[in-house]
A and B are shown apart, each in its own frame.
Chain A
Amino acid sequence: MTLLSLTQVTRRYGDGRREVAVLDRVCMEVDAGDFVGVWGPRRSGKTTLLRVAAGIEAPNAGAVCFDGHVLTRMGAGERARLLRTNGIAHVSGDWRPQLSQLVVDSVAMSLLSDRMSLREARPLARRALTRVGAGDCADVATSRLSQGERIRVALARAIVREPRLLLIDEPAVSPSPLECDELYELLRSLARERRLAVVVASEDLEALEGARRIMSISNGELRSMDPAGVVLAFPERRAARAEPSA
């Protein structure tokens, strides 16, 4: 079942003198449970693609649909309500907390707009942190987190609302190779969870390992890199490897 679709989406930026189409009539479909990798070099439009897909940024033309709803025709409030719970979560690898607060509270904050109290939200936040392998960071101040831990906390903030689609922009900005390796394994294990579709955009090919489908973006164009009509299946990874606890 198609969860997200982008149809002929164009996003242009201009400075009054000239306009550049960062996305030029882009089409993309993501099914429930899909794992899509988008490769592109710097400034190729990856960030814009994910922001438009998440409904954060409006395209100049084209339609973005999530679960049968046309996001591009909705008002901001209606769109936010639709996407808040079991919707779309957008994560950027360079996420930095605005405030220094306990990590558990930073994650719990994501749930407060659902009329949940902080006391009610904290257990869910701890569970999300454990799920991404950052349970031991829960009672640490966000200002004390390493880069690798920050990415995991950003992921916990995203999945705490139980999204059906997770969009991850450049997951590993600067962690060590060891942290990267474990982080990418975490992404693959999240993608294996039932119902959760994952789209990872990165210039690092390793971040896309395990993706069922690969797309390439450059000069405003998005291309599917799979043989026409064929979705390559990859063998399930060994369950013993760095599986985050549920």
Chain B
Amino acid sequence: MEAVNAGNRDWMRGSSPLKGALLGLVLQRPGHGYDLANRLDRRLGPAWQITAKDLYRMLEQLERAGLVSSRRVFSDGPTGNRRVYSPTELAEPALTEWMHTSTRMAPVRAEFQAKIAVARAQDAPRLLAALESYERECFALFKASSQDAPLIRSFAGIAVHLSRSSARLHLRAELEWIVLARRLISEVAMSS
């Protein structure tokens, strides 16, 4: 097994946000692949289209990074022996670090949903900080697109206006979603 130090973020690189969520689930309770796939599917919903192949690939990567370990256990079911995955002592700090990382623009909702799905009470401040950083990113994008545009009096003007409106409406939806997420996380954090 490859050793990782606490600051090693290789396991997060280029990965689907599912990997972080999967690590969170293993930390909550060890399980075999099929069990973990079901739990991930229940937490995140069918829209994620989690496949067994992806799941085993991610478990393999987590194991290579030293965040989970596996052992074969006897099972008298139709599938015979099963490999059960458990967290190592590096799993907890790695998950905490992932909670804190700023999320990339495009899949942010998906990544944030993944974080929420396995968040613990103590993660609330990190999630709120990540939300704020995403909010800033949205406004930075808005500002970056605030350039001269012709008034809507020609087809060129209409084209620019429609293109910008599409971007603005998308950003506005993201911002409203951030407000909702912040409110819900704050309320749950205060009540727990």
Closest Cβ neighbor of A44 among chain B residues: B179
Contacts A44-B179, A214-B139 known; A185 to B148 CB distance under 8 Å? no
Chain B: interface residue count, which band? 20 to 34
Closest Cβ neighbor of A176 among chain B residues: B152
User: Are the CB atoms of A209 and B146 closer together than 8 Å?
Assistant: yes
B132 sits at the interface (CB 8 A):
yes
User: Are the CB atoms of A41 and B176 closer together than 8 Å?
Assistant: yes
Expressed in whole angstroms, the minimum distance between the Cβ of A68 and any Cβ of chain B is 31
User: Are the CB atoms of A210 and B146 closer together than 8 Å?
Assistant: yes
* Among listed B37-45, B91-99, B167-175, interface-contacting one: B167-175
Closest Cβ neighbor of A236 among chain B residues: B148
Contacts of A203 in B (CB 8 A): 172
Name the residue among B143, B161, B164, B165 with the largest chain A CB count within 10 angstroms.
Answer: B143
Expressed in whole angstroms, the minimum distance between the Cβ of B143 and any Cβ of chain A is 6
> Contacting A219 at CB < 8 Å: which of B139, B151, B183?
B183
B135 sits at the interface (CB 8 A):
yes
Expressed in whole angstroms, the minimum distance between the Cβ of A148 and any Cβ of chain B is 13
Contacts of B140 in A (CB 8 A): 225
A241 sits at the interface (CB 8 A):
yes
A178→B142 CA distance, assembly (Å): 21
A178→B154 CA distance, assembly (Å): 11
Contacts A205-B172, A210-B146, A235-B148 known; A218 to B139 CB distance under 8 Å? no
Contacts of B165 in A (CB 8 A): 206
Question: Scoring A residues 5 to 31 as 1 if CB is less than 8 Å from chain B, else 0, what string do you get?
Answer: 000000000000000000000000000
User: Are the CB atoms of B179 and A205 closer together than 8 Å?
Assistant: no
Contacts of B132 in A (CB 8 A): 223
A112 sits at the interface (CB 8 A):
no
B9 sits at the interface (CB 8 A):
no
Closest Cβ neighbor of B183 among chain A residues: A219
Closest Cβ neighbor of B153 among chain A residues: A178
Contacts of A185 in B (CB 8 A): 151
A119 sits at the interface (CB 8 A):
no
Contacts of B176 in A (CB 8 A): 41
A227→B135 CA distance, assembly (Å): 12
User: Are the CB atoms of B152 and A178 closer together than 8 Å?
Assistant: yes
A203→B172 CA distance, assembly (Å): 8
Expressed in whole angstroms, the minimum distance between the Cβ of B155 and any Cβ of chain A is 14
B8 sits at the interface (CB 8 A):
no
Expressed in whole angstroms, the minimum distance between the Cβ of A41 and any Cβ of chain B is 5
Within 8 A of B (CB), among A161-218: 177-178, 181-182, 185, 203-206, 208-210, 214, 216, 218
User: Are the CB atoms of B142 and A214 closer together than 8 Å?
Assistant: yes
Contacts of A41 in B (CB 8 A): 175-176, 179
Closest Cβ neighbor of B137 among chain A residues: A225
User: Are the CB atoms of B148 and A237 closer together than 8 Å?
Assistant: yes
User: Are the CB atoms of B135 and A225 closer together than 8 Å?
Assistant: yes
B71 sits at the interface (CB 8 A):
no
Closest Cβ neighbor of B150 among chain A residues: A241
| Beyond A208-B142, A219-B179, 18 extra complex contacts between A and B, CB < 8 Å | A44-B179, A181-B161, A185-B151, A205-B172, A205-B175, A206-B164, A206-B165, A210-B146, A216-B175, A218-B182, A218-B183, A219-B183, A223-B132, A223-B135, A225-B136, A234-B146, A235-B147, A237-B148
Interface residues of A (CB under 8 A from B): 39-41, 44, 177-178, 181-182, 185, 203-206, 208-210, 214, 216, 218-219, 223, 225, 227, 232, 234-235, 237-238, 241-242
A-B contact pairs, 5 of them (CB 8 A): A203-B172, A218-B182, A225-B135, A227-B136, A235-B148
Top 8 A-B residue pairs of the complex, sorted by shortest distance between their CB atoms: A225-B139, A218-B179, A205-B168, A209-B146, A41-B176, A181-B152, A214-B139, A178-B152
